Amino acid sequence: MEGADHQFSVREESPRGCRSSFATYETPESQLCRLEDMNEVRELLRTLPSRDREVMTRRYGFQGPPESLAEIGQSHGVSKQRVSQWEIAAREELRTKLKGR
């Protein structure tokens, strides 16, 4: 079946040494679509104020492993609740920008 979007499941070990139930093999076409989506997200993140961009980047692991609210809060000298408020505001701003596209 040429051009069909096939996915295969295989058992694998996660980076932390835990066994995950199943990992999915992506076809080159689905990988490309995912990368295009990631590029769009990165482009949108660039439009955010620097603090909000940093929170979203660190929280969702765009430049390393995802970090907790507490970890981000520690580096900014604020509570995890405050970081959560920043994250919510940033997500809302991203939603608004997406609707405008």
Helix, strand or coil for residue 6? Answer: coil
Helix, strand or coil for residue 20? Answer: strand
Structure pTM? 0.65
Helix, strand or coil for residue 8? Answer: strand
**Per residue in 53-81, pLDDT tens?**
999 999 999 889 999 999 999 999 999 99
Q: What is the mean pLDDT of residues 20-25?
A: 55
Per cent of the chain over pLDDT 90 is 46
Domains (range + CATH), the chain? 8-99 (1.10.10.10)
